[in-house]
Structure formats: structure tokens, C-alpha cells
Amino acid sequence: MSDGKLVGIVLVSHSAEVATSVAELAKGLAGGGAEVPVAAAGGTEGGGLGTSAELIAGAAAAVDRGAGIAVLVDLGSAVLTVKALLAEGDELPEGTRLVDAPFVEGAVAAVVTAATGADLTAVEAAAAEAYSYRKV
């Protein structure tokens, strides 16, 4: 458990609409839990499809509550952008992790788990576990 601080969640998609919708879905499914800081970082600054290091860094700063930040991404170049930001060392808040998880299911699991006050390691594990969710 964290010390009352909640893990922040950043959802990075090539589409602003997708990132925002997944954030709304995950927060809605978290129900009456604590208010998890979630930010969508989708598309480019001009509103097009793609990823933006500036939008990602801004989203991470906005959700930083001192308990770490889980970053979930949709597609390959989003992974590369986040990895580049992490490699810079000072672009993202300390305790930011790129989480290997499916985008939608992982986001829901991350937000629901963060709402319980779980630490970053537990949030990351819950999101990653979403790979094993069976639908049929």
C-alpha cells in the first residue's frame, strides 16, 4: 500500500479520442473508489494521429502524486516515444514506468487497482495480468 498517495496513470494512444475514451472507461469502471489521477496523452499537438513527447510529459506531470506513474501505450511508436523520454532521465517524473499491458484491459485493471491505494508495483502487475484475460 502507498502512504495515501495514489499511483498516477497515463494512457498514450495515437488518437486523442481513443486515449480520452479509454481513460473515461477505466475511471468509470473503478466505481466509487478513490479519485485516481488519470491523464490521456493522445495524438499530436495539432490534433492529428501520432504520439507527442510533449503531451506525454505533460500528462505525466499532471498525474504525479508522488506514488509513481504507470504509463500504458497502444502501439509500437508510442512505446518508442515513452522509452526515449525515460532514457532522457529528466523528462518524466521519478518513478515513472512503462507498463507492458494490453491498452484497454490493462488501463481498467491499473485504474481499479490504483483506486485501492496499491503501490506502483501492484498497479503494474494488475495491468500486465490483463494479458491473461480470456473472453471465450
Q: With bands split at pLDDT 50, 70 and 90, how would you rate the model's confidence at 133? A: confident
pLDDT tops 90 at residue 12:
yes
Predicted pLDDT at 63 = 97
pTM: 0.94
CA-nearest of 38, 53, 3 to 110 is 38
Q: With bands split at pLDDT 50, 70 and 90, how would you rate the model's confidence at 2? A: low
Residue 117: active-site member: no
> Cell for 92?
518524466
Q: Could you say which of 10, 14, 52, 113 is catalytic?
A: 14
> Cell for 93?
517524473
Average the pLDDT over 17-23 and give the result. 97
Q: What is the pLDDT of residues 59-71, one digit of tens each?
A: 999 999 999 999 9
How far is 100 from 106, CA to CA, in rounded Å? 9
Predicted pLDDT at 108 = 96
DSSP state of 96: E
User: For residue 121, what are the contacts with CB-CB under 8 A and spacing of at least 6?
Assistant: none
